[in-house]
Chain A
């Protein structure tokens, strides 16, 4: 049985996806084309989860554009938010 979609990737260039439901650590991310990923930590609903390795200082891409830089290295399946994303210019 196919599991229900739990993340959305908005642009194919994106390295983060949006959680549609509360995702627990260890659960698979369903909705990412061509990739098998698992949540490394709990992801709250509407929050972001990394789809690829992002080095410290690397761009975090959503909508195909940079929404900020990684303030530390981020692994696929990790939660992405203000604790590891630094906004630019402001």
Chain B
């Protein structure tokens, strides 16, 4: 048995059924928000990108925004542009249209200002909502599900309870034919040999090896004398004895399946099973990249506690310890802390799988109830 989702024209399945209004450039954010205020059912997507960046960043932002529009959780989308920006609303709409879902776009300079554009946008999005609300959930196999994994605000127990619990669920999902994305290249430093040995294809192994080594070099440049906090020798005071031990504690949330593919930030996987995405370790950038790759649902472990969610995908929060689960219960969905009190890892993994199914079927997670709709697009060069 799989999950109850929303059928999309490209054959994919949404676990949510959102009408999205998205800006193609930061300058259109005000209009997107105005539409969102008028139609609270709509999911507004605003961001800081779309113009004033070099070619590398324009490519990343375009891939990210188009990918978010293509995400199966999006039933229909209205893209709002300004007119003179690099990333045009028409171009994004065109890319998203390849999925066959309803797509429209508006350009503020062409419509004659923000109020006129917002008025028209409210009309278009209102019609999209009426159409989307007619859709009913139907049965899909797990092969239609893509799950993104994340850890943030970690503590000493994240690698002992929560991440191994997620790893059990990840192995189960992969065995059922689902796609699981492991992200955060920084957290893989030191484990390149271990991960490369798990790649069935030598090309994938080579790419992964190079990616992690490059990340280590970059981390040293970016953090200078502070790089030791991320790279070896681990957290000596906290009992971690080597960089391998520290990084294994992070990557264990991907389970033990073969690594089928290594993908760029926000790029859609072409393989089922476990795939690795090159993302920053910073949570929000990483969540955005995985959602843009098509992840309909995300699992996020935390030891110190973070409320972060995502506008168009449920983010399941797994607390690494019972104290956090109780203290920040408003934000936590599941408690891995019970593993530290004698519960078996297998049982905890099963509990997570069951919750994933409930959430895929429509049960709201805490981040959705709290409307923790946060999004950041990764950039690699300065703005100009």
Contacts and interface: CB of A to CB of B under 8 A. Distances in A.
Contact of B239 (A8, A64, A81, A87): A81
B329 interface: no
B340 A5 contact: yes
Contacts of B36: none
B160 A10 contact: yes
B121 interface: no
A67 B242 contact: yes
A81 B234 CA distance: 11
B241 A82 contact: yes
Nearest to A64: B256
B232 A87 contact: yes
B232 A68 contact: no
Contact of B244 (A4, A44, A88): A88
Interface centre among B234, B236, B249, B340, by most A CB within 10 Å?
B340
B164 A10 contact: yes
Given A5-B342, A48-B239, A67 B248 contact: yes
A11 to B, nearest CB: 8
Contacts of A54: none
B170 interface: no
B325 to A, nearest CB: 16
Interface of A is mostly: loop
Contacts of B242: 67-68, 85, 87-88, 90
A85 B232 CA distance: 13
A62 B190 contact: no
Contacts of A81: 236, 239, 241
Interface in A1-50: 4-5, 8, 10, 18-20, 31, 44-48
Given A10-B160, A46-B239, A68 B245 contact: yes
A68 B233 CA distance: 12
B241 A48 contact: yes
A90 B239 CA distance: 18
Contacts of A4: 342
Interface in A40-90: 44-48, 62-68, 80-82, 85, 87-90
A44 B239 contact: yes
B302 interface: no
Contacts of B208: none
Contact of A5 (B231, B244, B341): B341
B340 A62 contact: no
Given A8-B340, A31-B342, A87-B233, A68 B241 contact: yes
Contacts of B193: 89
Contacts of B160: 8, 10, 18
10 contacts: A10-B164, A46-B238, A47-B239, A62-B248, A68-B241, A87-B232, A87-B234, A88-B244, A89-B190, A89-B193
Top-7 shortest CB links A-B: A87-B242, A47-B239, A67-B245, A46-B239, A5-B342, A63-B248, A46-B156
Given A19-B239, A82-B233, A88-B244, 18 more contacts: A8-B160, A10-B164, A18-B239, A31-B342, A44-B239, A46-B238, A63-B164, A63-B249, A65-B244, A67-B245, A68-B241, A68-B245, A81-B236, A81-B239, A82-B236, A87-B233, A87-B241, A87-B244
Interface of A: 4-5, 8, 10, 18-20, 31, 44-48, 62-68, 80-82, 85, 87-90
